[in-house]
Structure 1
Amino acid sequence: MSETGALAYWFDIAPSVTGEWLDWYLQDHMPSRVGTTFVAGRCYEALGATSSHMVLFETATPEALLAPSYLELLKQVSDEDRQRRSWYSNPIRVICRVVGRSGRGTGSVLGVLRITDSQGASDEMIRATLNELLAAGRKVKGIGSAWVLQNDNSMRIRMDEARVTGHQDGSADWAILIEGGHQGDVEKALDLFEGIQAWRSLELGDAVTRGVYRLLYTMSQSDQAGI
């Protein structure tokens, strides 16, 4: 990932509609986003996490999320879209700036530490700590890349002004993502993170959510060429 903007979204989908939701997401929703505002998108299913699914869309810059064409797209909500919205529960949507990155590529397994509330810790302290974790994670065998996301709430507010649905979605302040090929390697990296003194000293407690996901599908801008 070389982009500097991202939209991260965690949610639960009821097992009874998971197949229908995934088919719609891959055939309709992702193609309508990737190649316009977003340069790439990914869809994940939980291996061990509080949210059953996660999606991640990347933009060339954070400001691309405020492109007039995308804001206009957010206003276009059909009756079918409103029905699909009922499939989602416990949504968390984060408009992100990528503030740290190490390594390259996309792993088949993604590990996440998401900070919902910074608990009074300064942005500088959290950024420094997460970048320390980022460097440590790359030393774990089987880990190919890691990156740090910071929420930009001012952009979330501007997007919500255009949205027809989703205003009540939850949010988060920070996330560190780590990518590997096997669940065990990613779990080891997350265990390492949680044992590092700088991380422990933040005393974030229940404000941190840990999750591990497997990649279901990925789509890039180049996939749309010639269609």
Structure 2
Amino acid sequence: MPLLGRAAVAMWWDMAPALRAEFEDWHSHEHFPERMGIPGFMRGSRFASAAGGEGFFVMYELDAYETLTSPHYLARLNNPTPWSAKMMPHHRNMVRSQCRVLESFGGGVAMAIMTVRLSPADGEAEALRAHLAASLSALPLQPGLTGGHLLQTQTPAAAMTKEQQIRGGDAEADWIMLLTGYDAAAVAEAVAKALAALPVAALRSRPVVAPYRLSYTLAKTDLGRG
């Protein structure tokens, strides 16, 4: 099963160790349930750096691209809770990408994920997408792997929200490749092979690659249980 929907919000940020316990409490028990209560939000997953750093990767899977500009979502972005307003300024080095799902193979939520931020060179987007789609489609059934996905940032035309103002503005990625699996070494090897197979001229710059480990996931269908 592929990602749950045709759009996603992909985010990276750092959180100081002194605030990590409160951050995870807030994010798990208030923020995720709040987001999953928004129509169109299907699942949220939080991953912590597998390299021992302060970084987190969070992804929300959305039913449709239009959810990004829905009145329900914008209302939450512009009316953060007191706890959210307290935690938002501590999201350091924030990268937030509002994306369309270009390709999605496999599915579920696995323990290991590697995120690859990349940008096609001028005139290479179509060829790069075709190359990556062919590579990703073969991965989910390989030992240690469960999924391969490709997202493209397409930021909606909208004013800066209150949450963004609190954080001081966010950076964006361009294209995002995600490889997931139950064996971190297998995921890392698959990423290395996928990048090595790319034509040198296909990319505008060196990809940004980072490994993460699952911390928590919550789906809309989980709300109200227990």
The question of a shared fold, defined as TM-score above 0.5 by the shorter chain, is answered with yes
- The answer for the alignment partner of 1:164 in structure 2 is 162
Q: Report the 3-state secondary structure (helix = DSSP H, G, I; strand = E; otherwise coil) of the residue aligned with 1:101.
A: strand
Give the alignment of 1:194-213 within 5 angstroms. 194-198=195-199, 200-206=200-206, 208-213=207-212
Structure-to-structure mapping, 1:32-47, within 5 angstroms: 32-37=34-39, 38-47=41-50
Question: Contact 1:10/1:51 (CA < 8 Å) preserved in 2?
Answer: no
For residues 119 and 112 of structure 1, what CA distance do their matches in structure 2 show? 19
- Rounded to whole Å, the distance in 1 between the matches of 2:45 and 2:208 is 20
**2-side partners of 1:188 and 1:49: how far apart?**
19
Secondary structure (helix, strand or coil) at the match of 2:173 reads coil
Question: Displacement of 1:80 after TM fit?
Answer: 4.2
Deviation at 1:121, TM superposition (A): 4.3
Q: 1:117-196 maps to which residues of 2 (within 5 A)?
A: 117-138=119-140, 140-153=142-155, 155=156, 157-158=157-158, 161=159, 163-166=161-164, 168-196=169-197
Once residues 51 and 125 of structure 1 are traced to their aligned partners in structure 2, the CA distance between those partners, rounded to angstroms, is: 35
| 2-structure distance, mates of 1:104, 1:165 | 30
Distance across 1 between alignment mates of 2:194 and 2:54:
20
Q: Distance in 1 between matches of 2:153 and 2:18?
A: 32
Q: CA deviation at 1:120?
A: 2.4
Q: TM-score, normalised by structure 1?
A: 0.88
SS at match of 2:12: strand
Structure 2 vs 1, CA of residues 8 and 27 (structure 1 numbering), >3 Å: closer, same or farther? Answer: same
Structure 1 vs Structure 2 CA RMSD: 2.1
Structure 1 residue aligned with 2:22: 20
Q: Any conservation in 1 of the 2:4–2:43 contact (CA below 8 Å)?
A: no
Q: 2:17 & 2:143 partners in 1: Cα distance? A: 34
8 Å Cα contact 2:17-2:54 kept in structure 1? no
Question: How far, CA to CA, are the matches of 1:4 and 1:203 in structure 2?
Answer: 24
- Once the two structures are superposed, residues 51-95 of structure 1 have per-residue CA deviations (whole angstroms, 9 ceiling, x without a partner) of 710110011111112111111111103554333122111000000
Q: What amino acid is aligned across from residue 137 of structure 1 in structure 2?
A: L
How much does 1:139 deviate? Answer: 5.9
| Alignment-derived partner of residue 31 in structure 1 | 33
Q: Which amino acid aligns with 2:108?
A: G
Kept after mapping to 2: 8 A contact 1:49/1:213: no
The one-letter amino acid paired with 2:161 is R
CA contact (8 A) 1:140 1:188 kept: no
Does the Cα contact within 8 Å between 2:114 and 2:187 map onto a contact in 1?
yes
Question: Which position in structure 1 is the counterpart of 2:109?
Answer: 106
| Alpha-carbon offset, residue 119 of structure 1 | 4.0
Normalising by structure 2, what TM-score?
0.88
Tell me how far apart the structure 1 counterparts of residues 223 and 80 of structure 2 sit (CA, whole Å): 23
Determine the structure 2 residue equivalent to 1:58: 61
Unaligned runs of 5+ in 2: none
Deviations 1:35-57 (A, max 9, x none): 32311100110113987101100
